[in-house]
Structures are given as C-alpha cells and as structure tokens.
Structure 1
Amino acid sequence: MLRRLQHPVHPGLWLTRFVRWGPVRQGPNQWDFKVVTTTRSGKQKEEDRKRDNLDHAARAANVEPVRKLATEWRARREAWLKPLEQQGLACRFRAKTDWRLAIGLAGASPLETNIVFHRLYGVPMLPGSGLKGLALAVARSNGEHETIFGTQKAAGLVDVLDAIPISPPGKNWIEVDIMNPHYPDWYQQKKDKQGKALAPSDDQSPNPIFFLTVSPGVEFEFALLCRTRTNEAKDALNKAKAWLIEGLKTLGAGAKTAAGYGYFV
C-alpha cells in the first residue's frame, strides 16, 4: 500500500521506518545499496537504492501539505509568544541559510545518513537544544553564561526554542547532496599484501555517499523565551539572542561546518 502513495505521509518515517529498498547482501557481513539489475531490453545497469530512497524523502518533504503544517506550527507559536514579546519576555528573529545545512547527519538511520525532521509534522527543523549549545559556545568566554543557560544543577534564565523553516513558494526545502571520498582505502586504513599501510593514490575508486540537506536560501524563524518574569531575565534574553546570532554567522549549525555547511545570514 505504501508504494502506491505518490508521497509518504511523513518524510521522517520514510527515512527510518518505510525504507523502500533495503541493502543487498554482497558477501559475509557485507551489505550494499548498490545493485545490478537487468532491464527489459536485456541491458544491465547499476542502481543506487539509497539514492532512490533519499530522492523519495526529499520529494515528500517539499510537498505543499508539509509546508502548510510548518506555517500552522509557526502561527500557533506566534499566538502565545506575541504577548510575551510585548512584555520583553520573548524575542524572535529570522535568518537564511547561506549555503546548505546538514542537521542530524550522523543520526541513526537504515540509510547510514540522516536529517532532523519534526517527529509529528515531518518539517525540517533546527532543535532548540543544538541552538542553545551554539549560543553557549560563543558565550563561554563570558562568566554569565551559566546563569543565563543553566547548569546540570540549576536551570538558566533563558530557553531556546526550535527553529521553524519558512520557505518561499516554488523553493524546495530539502535537496540531495553528495560526499565523494577519493581515497577510501587510505581512509579505512587498509594495508597491502606486505602489511604496509596504503597511501592516497589515484587508482582508488571514489566512494560517493549521498545525504539530505536543507537547501541554500531557506529562511528559519528563531525564538528565545525568558523562564522568569524579572528584569534580570530580560537582560539575559538580549544577550542570549546576540550570542545565538553570532554563532549562526560565525560558527555555523549542524554538521560539516568546516566545509561551509550550516552558516546563516
């Protein structure tokens, strides 16, 4: 029944539960998503079933019903944040991805790579816990960061909420990206017949790895909230907002920031 659907109901479930094509055994304890199939004309071709699953999940995440869920989620949050904003107890701001964004890349998935979708709505999102860690990384040189963000023994003055995407009409949220390590034998620390470690060389076949990313130019709405109704908490809110903005611009969110992923403008 699932294969008859043009799009699965939830792209996150498709990645973790409803995988369309599983890996094929290539040998003892060896599995691969790449298989050789024969067409009706008798020609053989190699199929990458992992890429097929990722393409399907990306299409599912970009459909209008998912966008509508994100809009409704943001509207509900605005309804209860707006009165608090007027009292200086909450704040919101928006920022766009400067290039691609990889969130939850190393998360558990039968496809080896993952991405963070909202568990109920299937919307790509930035978890508030990760954003709080990003702001904390900027703030560590300031002695106030424990008071503002809390410790294992005591809660802080500010909460950081999940970031919700806002995509303009006609622009996809999610796209498939590729890593292409050119020296797999060297990365895997393989050795030759004499037991000598193999060096990087051009005779090693590249090993393309596909994964899902948030597209460049996707706008997110970020939100922070005071935990107490005090002037101290209001001052802490402004500092936390500044730290988070600096972290998004200079450190980047998610994975592969050293390669340019995860930065915002």
Structure 2
Amino acid sequence: MNAYLTLTKYKGSQKKSDLLKQIDNPDGKSAFFEQAILDFGNYWGTKNVSWYKQRYAAYEGHIKSSSDTNTSFFLKSSFPLIIGQGNPSILETHLTLHPIYGIPYLPGSLIKGVTAHYCHQVLGKEDSKFKQGEEYALVLFGSQEQAGAIHYHDALPTPKSIKNCLSLDVITPHHQSYNQGLNQAPRDDDSPVPVPFLTVKADFRVILSCEDLAYAEWLNIAQKIVSHAVTEMGIGGKTNAGYGKMEV
C-alpha cells in the first residue's frame, strides 16, 4: 500500500479509494485516515516487503560509492513528528511522503535546515564563526554563492519501524471565523472545529557525506550538530508543542 498515492491520488493504490468524497464530506476525514493507517499497517506487516529492504540497503550503498567519505547514524522518534502539514492538500492537512516508496521520510533539506538554524541560533552565541555566512557555517551549509562541504541526504525509515509509524492526531481551532478573517471577534462560546491529521513515529537512518577528504573531520562535527539540533529543538512542525523530538 502506497500511502502517498492513497492520500493524494483518487483510486491511487486502492481500488475502492474514497479520497474524492472527502472534499464534500470533511466530517469523514477521521474515518478515512483510520482506514489508511490500517491498510498501511497491514501491508507493511503481512506482505512481502523485501523490495524495500533491498532499496534501503542500496540507497546507502550508492551514497558510499559516490562520495569520498560518509557517516550514518540513527534517529528515533521520542514523540510523533509532523512534516509538510502546510503543503497543499485536498484533505486540508498534508504529510510528507516518499512519492515512489509511499512512506514517511525526512528530506535532506529539512535536516540541513533545522541543523543550520540550531547552528546559527545556539552555537553562534558561543562562537560567531557558526553564524550564518561565517567561516564554519559556510563549510557546513554553504551559501547562495558557494556550496557547502557536507551533503545532507534524505533519511529513510528503517524497515522494522515502518509498520506502525503512522498515527492519527487532532487539532481543535476554537475561532475559525476569526482566523479566516471574517471580521468576527473571537469569543469564549465559539465552537471548536476538530481537524484530524497524520503524524509519524519511526526510526530514521541519517546519512551525511562529503566529496573532499580534506573536510572529512567536519562529518563528525556535522553529525554532532544534527544530533543536538533534533534532540533539543525537534524537527518538523509544532515543535513548540513537543512534536518532532528525537533520540539518537
């Protein structure tokens, strides 16, 4: 079961997909999500998914063969994370899913972004060379004028953690009319509007690489910064509410 197709394409990977109905019946989104989670778990728990194990191993092998040096480590979700919720979707809330494999993953740009933010906001206070555009930051992340020495690759979930990685959550905005700019002041008697959405909890293998052995020592530095960034600040959306916290 390809979750990407199920959540974005009518009859994408399910012959009886009712994705189109959710446009006219938003109250049925919770049931739709619950069925998608069930189908996803059944596929990854009972079907032969050896193809993904092969692709998972081949992905790391390709990176190792195409770079001078690299390092890999694992991040484990200690609390559900939300990725890509603000992207356009007919279901109102979205989730970043691999368009080919149909599974949640951490885009390399996301890993690089949260690491660069942590580097600038936290490490930059201790040493200005870590601030955006300065010496250390240029090596780690580059700039619009020059490429960085470190490559941050997409982090795929481990085969063992995929089966139960999706779960259903809900947010309940209380002042929908006010938030939509309808000139109605927020009041205590406004009715909450439950909005269901999907979250992810899995183990991810992060791979960093560089093409110049002269910067090999920076791989270990980058790994430590990534680890601190996602454990202290979290990754994805709603981190201020506790979502996206990871363990190394």
Category of TM-score, reference length = shorter chain? 0.7 to 0.9
How far has the Cα of 1:80 moved from its partner? 3.7
- Corresponding residue for 1:101? 81
Counterpart mapping for 1:3-18 below 5 A: 9-18=1-10
Q: What SS does the corresponding residue of 1:241 show, helix, strand or coil? A: helix
Within the candidate set 38, 54, 57, 1:59 is matched to 38
Residue by residue over 1:38-71, the C-alpha shift from the partner in whole angstroms, topping out at 9 and shown as x without a partner, is: xxxxxxxxxx222233223323433225964543
Percent identity over the alignment is 29
Q: Which structure shows the higher helix fraction?
A: 2
> Is the contact between residue 163 and residue 220 of structure 1 (CA under 8 Å) also seen in structure 2?
yes
Rg larger for = 1
Provide closer, same or farther for how the CA distance between residues 199 and 115 of structure 1 changes in structure 2, counting only shifts above 3 A: closer
Provide closer, same or farther for how the CA distance between residues 169 and 16 of structure 1 changes in structure 2, counting only shifts above 3 A: closer
Provide closer, same or farther for how the CA distance between residues 177 and 264 of structure 1 changes in structure 2, counting only shifts above 3 A: same
Residue by residue over 1:173-229, the C-alpha shift from the partner in whole angstroms, topping out at 9 and shown as x without a partner, is: 1011100123334434544xxxxx52330x2211000111103xx21111101132x
Provide closer, same or farther for how the CA distance between residues 69 and 205 of structure 1 changes in structure 2, counting only shifts above 3 A: farther
Number of equivalenced pairs: 226
Distance 1:184 1:90 in 2: 48
Provide closer, same or farther for how the CA distance between residues 170 and 83 of structure 1 changes in structure 2, counting only shifts above 3 A: closer
- Corresponding residue for 2:108? 128
Provide closer, same or farther for how the CA distance between residues 170 and 223 of structure 1 changes in structure 2, counting only shifts above 3 A: closer
Q: What SS does the corresponding residue of 1:123 show, helix, strand or coil? A: coil
Distance 1:167 1:32 in 2: 36
How far has the Cα of 1:116 moved from its partner? 1.0
Q: Which structure shows the higher strand fraction?
A: 1
How far has the Cα of 1:93 moved from its partner? 0.6
- Corresponding residue for 1:45? none
Q: What SS does the corresponding residue of 1:79 show, helix, strand or coil? A: helix
How far has the Cα of 1:81 moved from its partner? 4.7
Distance 1:242 1:132 in 2: 13
Counterpart mapping for 1:3-82 below 5 A: 9-18=1-10, 20-22=18-20, 33-34=25-26, 48-62=27-41, 63-64=43-44, 65=47, 68-81=50-63
1:93 corresponds to which letter in structure 2? Answer: F
Question: Under a length normalisation based on structure 2, what TM-score does the superposition of the two structures give?
Answer: 0.80
- Corresponding residue for 1:175? 167
Question: Under a length normalisation based on structure 1, what TM-score does the superposition of the two structures give?
Answer: 0.76
1:138 corresponds to which letter in structure 2? Answer: Y
How far has the Cα of 1:92 moved from its partner? 0.6
2:2 corresponds to which letter in structure 1? Answer: H
Distance 1:124 1:178 in 2: 19
Out of 115-124 and 59-68, give the one that drifted further: 59-68
1:76 corresponds to which letter in structure 2? Answer: A
Give the aligned CA root-mean-square deviation in angstroms. Answer: 2.6
Q: What SS does the corresponding residue of 1:178 show, helix, strand or coil? A: strand
Q: What SS does the corresponding residue of 1:103 show, helix, strand or coil? A: coil
Within the candidate set 123, 146, 153, 1:154 is matched to 146
Q: Which runs of 5+ in 1 are unaligned?
A: 1-8, 25-30, 35-47, 192-196
Q: Which runs of 5+ in 2 are unaligned?
A: 11-16, 125-129
